[in-house]
Amino acid sequence: MSGFFGCISKNDSVADVFYGTDYHSHLGTKRAGLAFYSSEKGFQRAIHSLEDGYFRNKFENNIAGFSGNIGIGVISDTEAQPIMVTSHLGKFAVATVSKIVNINELTESLLKQNRTFSEMSQGSTNPTELVSMLIAEGEDFKSGIENVYDKVKGSCSMLILTENSIIAARDKLGRTPIIIGKKEDTYAVTFETCAFPNLGYEIEKYIGPGEIVEITADGYRQIRKPNDKMQICSFLWVYYGYPPSFYEGINVDESRYKCGEAIAKKDNVEADFVAAIPDSGIGHAMGYSNEKRIPLKRPYSKYTPTWPRSFMPQSQNMRDLVAKMKLIPNTALIKDKSGVFLDDSIVRGTQLKDNVQDLHKAGIKEVHMRIACPPLTFPCEFLNFSRSRSNLDLATHRAVKQLEGKEDVDMHEYSDSCNGKYEAMVEQIRKNLDLTTLRFQKLDDLVDAIGLPKEKLCTHCWDGSSYF
């Protein structure tokens, strides 16, 4: 995943863009960049790696040299961006939140037109540079962005920084959000609304799927109407989104409380305490605890002063070790007790298995795991959801291979909670993780907890139902 923030003001915008972008640090792990425009200095840009440090640390030396009343920032889980472009549309910078499934096909098509790529991302085409080239094929920004919508399979939301404005264009199916905020003499545009309160912004507008809006210091105007269909990622409310944020007017943590409540209402387990797998399981656990009236306790403490980010090390083995080192079990709360643990999801299950082993070593009597979403049975085609390179990285696919003795299996039957194959898969995952019991959220209950109609939500990773 990635996240971005932009600001245009009648005054200097550098501080707001810097801190607003920083509020997206939970969304990206690889690169970050800032771009500004001022009449005195023109376009200014800096890009840094985040693999060995925090956004603030990396950019604090750049801030003093930046100036301008308009700027954008991005934290990326993949490529270096923003991209700077000079074309017949003028000079501009582009930041994206995207996953381009057909990037090789589009690259080949452009190369056949004698086009040249100057940026690379992990040995391949930089997706944001590709987007900038597709934009430049248009007669204007509107037609250029529509060209991106027409050609890209996957998803793409973008911010374009010009000399006079910020153009915000949300993915054609709205898989990721863009929200406009306002305060005196200043407009901002963001992925995460949690960036707004401490900077003094109020939510002004939720940009619709495929909608294009041009923002100046005096206001904003719509240059393309939103599409009727929407497929916003449900996982934003389950895991990715920061608790205080809103998407489509719906708060993240409020949805997580409702998820926990829904699981609790259908659960008859008896336990001494309820706990979260920190941090993303906290909201779900609070909802479960309140509904079941079982005390919420903290048998795990998350230690972050010297183990801040498990994704920093290059090797997977080291990342797994760091993730394990961050969580410290409290034996005083665990020994001879029965606990219900809430987590957002099970992807690979390797970290959760380590957590469960620690609980057993600490003398816990029973581990009842409750997951806030259904089993992840289909890989995401639309967002950079995980670094998994094979379907077998998913805990569900490993379990099904154990049951069926083969890899090429139709997962639709296993995604149906009313099917016996679903129950067999869940039981196999339970055994693999050494849990006393394991239950997943039902898809209908998750949809209800979010509060949008199912047809407006992307639920592909759970039921394979979405589309390009």
Contact at 8 Å (CB) between 269 and 288? no
SS3 at position 205: strand
Cα 265 from Cα 370, distance rounded (Å)? 12
* Residue closest to 239 by CA, chosen among 378, 395, 343, 394: 343
Task: State what percent of residues in the chain have pLDDT above 90.
Answer: 85
SS3 at position 298: coil
Domain 255-450 has CATH 3.40.50.2020: yes
H or E stretch covering 255: helix 252-265
pLDDT at 123: 73
Give 311's pLDDT tier (boundaries 50, 70, 90). Answer: very low
pLDDT tens for 390-424 read 677 899 999 999 999 998 899 999 999 999 999 99
Q: What is the DSSP string of 210-248?
A: T-EEEEETTEEEEEEPPPS---EETHIIIIIS-TT-EET
Give the mean pLDDT of 330-338. Answer: 94
Amino acid 297 reads K
Give the mean pLDDT of 255-259. Answer: 98
* Residue closest to 349 by CA, chosen among 318, 368, 371, 327: 371
pLDDT at 200: 98
pLDDT at 52: 82
Please tell me the pTM assigned to this model: 0.94
- Give yes or no for residue 322 having a pLDDT over 70: no
- Top pLDDT among 169 and 309 is at 169
> Domain limits of the chain?
3-230, 255-450
Q: Which CATH number is 3-230 given?
A: 3.60.20.10
Contact at 8 Å (CB) between 459 and 233? no
Give the mean pLDDT of 95-108. Answer: 96
Give 278's pLDDT tier (boundaries 50, 70, 90). Answer: confident
- Give yes or no for residue 171 having a pLDDT over 80: yes
Give the mean pLDDT of 23-30. Answer: 92
Cα 468 from Cα 455, distance rounded (Å)? 14
pLDDT at 317: 67
Give the mean pLDDT of 78-99. Answer: 96
- Give yes or no for residue 247 having a pLDDT over 60: yes
Give the mean pLDDT of 277-304. Answer: 93
Give 303's pLDDT tier (boundaries 50, 70, 90). Answer: confident
Sign of CA dihedral 432, 434, 437, 438: negative
pLDDT tens for 354-386 read 889 999 999 999 999 999 999 999 999 999 876
Task: State what percent of residues in the chain have pLDDT above 70.
Answer: 94
Cα 130 from Cα 125, distance rounded (Å)? 7
- Give yes or no for residue 64 having a pLDDT over 50: yes
pLDDT at 316: 61
pLDDT at 27: 93
Amino acid 259 reads C
Residues constituting the chain: 468
pLDDT at 385: 72
Cα 166 from Cα 220, distance rounded (Å)? 9
Of 137-141, 240-244, 299-303, 437-441, which gets the smallest average pLDDT?
Answer: 299-303
Q: For residue 128, what are its two tokens? A: 């944001």
Give 323's pLDDT tier (boundaries 50, 70, 90). Answer: low
